[in-house]
Amino acid sequence: MIVFDGNRKLYKANLHLHTNLSDGRKSPEEARSIYRENGYDFLAITDHRKVTTQTMTDGSLISIQSIEFDFFLIGQVIHIVGVGVDDSITEMLPKLTSPQRAIEGIHAAGGLAILAHPAWSLNTPEIINGLRGLDAVEVYNTVSGMPFNRDRADSSSILDVAFSQGKLLNMVASDDAHFYVGDECKSYIMAACKEKTVEALKDAVRAGDFYATQGPEFKKIEFDGSTLKVWTSPVKFISFPTDLPWGGPTATQTGDGLTYAEYTINTNFPLPHKFIRVLLVDENGKRAWSNPIDLTK
């Protein structure tokens, strides 16, 4: 079975970004210009608790009407991005007083609900798994890492724990750009949209028909129920994280210009696998993440 076919038309999208209409340092017009010039097809401007711009086409770039909600808990925060919401979200704002209500409000407004930067937020697996209806979660958030922040950009480890204890979520990478001094145009998704429209992008995210990346490319992912095969752009490492601590000698494979690897699940292991995913790392340390594959079905 082909899990992901990268030999199709793919669209580049950043689904989390701020402007000077909340706590960012560039105007919406400047942000759109930066991402358009860097080859992006879609950009979600997600200012805090406000809709900054309507969905519009700016040259080759589609700017998506979006929003971000933030909530404070004891010892952690919860930020939820709403991508592709309609104008009704503005009327619902006073009622969206909890993370779960925010998710429901985003869906009612036609949007995607994405949990932002769980590592930066200090989210626990219990909190992540307790949120119902999420469409995706950020596996990587550029501005949550150094030098812009503490070293909490990569949420993959906490997500592995959450996935092993609950449900799987599709994983996006986003910039969450605020400062525009290197936190922009770094982390994004490549989505297999049927056409270049916001609705087609949302469909691809819901279906998991995309991958998250900082540059490395997935050419194809195949899985026959026991062996996962991956073809990629040249990378240094191809790793196969699962819900189990033990991996064996093929769990991470390395080579100069590596473009293929495969991993066979040990079906004789006392504990059954729940999921498997793929991580790519190139010679410059840039990463790419596949969505997790459910092994319980």
- Is 70 a residue whose pLDDT tops 80? yes
- Among candidate residues 278, 288, 279, the one with its CA nearest the CA of residue 3: 278
Domain of 260: which CATH number? 2.60.40
Q: Residue 6: its pLDDT value, please?
A: 96
Q: What is the CATH number of the domain that holds 135?
A: 3.20.20.140
Q: How confident is the model at residue 91 (pLDDT cuts 50, 70, 90)?
A: very high
Cis? peptide before 94, omega within 30° of 0: no
pLDDT at 112: 98
How far apart (Å, rounded) are the C-alpha atoms in residues 215 and 41? Answer: 15
Contact 68, 141 (CB under 8 A): no
Query: Which of 105, 61, 67, 101 is closest to 84 using CA atoms?
Result: 67
Please tell me whether residues 96 and 116 are part of one structural domain.
yes
Over the stretch 191-232, which tens digit does the pLDDT of each residue have?
999 999 999 999 999 999 999 999 999 999 999 999 999 999
Q: Are residues 174 and 228 in the same domain?
A: no
- Mean pLDDT across the stretch 3-30? 97
Is residue 32 within 8 A of residue 56, CB to CB? The reply is no
Domain-ending residue, one of 213, 236, 270: 213
Q: Judge if 224 and 144 occupy the same domain.
A: no
Residue written as token pair 């706590």: 23
Co-location of 244 and 135 in the same domain: no
**Pair 31, 144 in one domain:** yes
Answer yes or no: is pLDDT of 44 > 80.
yes
- Distance in angstroms (rounded) separating the CA atoms of residues 133 and 141: 21
CA 131 to chain CA mean position, Å: 16
pLDDT exceeds cutoff 90 at 175:
yes
Q: Are residues 233 and 90 in the same domain?
A: no
Q: What is the pLDDT of residue 272?
A: 77
Q: CA 275, CA 88: separation in Å to the nearest integer?
A: 37
Coil, helix or strand at residue 72: strand
Question: Are 105 and 240 members of one domain?
Answer: no
* Domain co-membership, 118 together with 237: no
Average pLDDT over residues 60-89: 97
pLDDT(74) > 90: yes
Give the model's confidence band at 39: pLDDT under 50 very low, under 70 low, under 90 confident, else very high. Answer: very high
Ramachandran class of 142: left when φ > 0, alpha when ψ lies in -120 to 50, beta otherwise: alpha
> Which of 157, 190, 213 is where one domain is finished?
213
Last residue of a domain, one of 150, 180, 213: 213
What pLDDT, on a 0 to 100 scale, did the predictor assign at position 246? 83
132 plus 109 within the same structural domain = yes
**The pLDDT value given to residue 34:** 98
Say whether both 185 and 271 belong to one domain. Answer: no
247 & 196 share domain:
no
The model's pLDDT over 115-173, given as tens digits with 9 standing for 90+, comes to 999 999 999 999 999 999 999 999 999 999 999 999 999 999 999 999 999 999 999 99
How many Å is the maximal CA-CA distance in the chain?
56
> Residue 297: its pLDDT value, please?
84
Would strands 293-294 and 275-276 be described as parallel, antiparallel, or unpaired? antiparallel
Whole-number average pLDDT of the chain: 96
Distance of CA 91 to the CA centre of its chain: 28
CB 58 within 8 A of CB 87: no
Residues 188 and 274 in one domain: no
CB neighbours of residue 44 within 10 Å: 29
**0.75 exceeded by pTM:** yes
The amino acid sitting at 242 is T
Give residue 69's domain range: 2-213
If you average pLDDT over residues 91-103, what whole number do you get?
A: 96
pLDDT tens digits, 244-287 = 888 888 999 999 999 999 999 987 777 778 999 999 999 999 99
Token pair for 29: 């017009």
The per-residue pLDDT for 207 is: 98
Mean pLDDT of 7-12: 97
Q: How many domains does the chain have?
A: 2
Mean pLDDT of 92-114: 97
* 61, pLDDT greater than 90: yes
* Residue 102: Cβ-neighbour burial (10 angstroms; 0-12, 13-18, 19+): buried
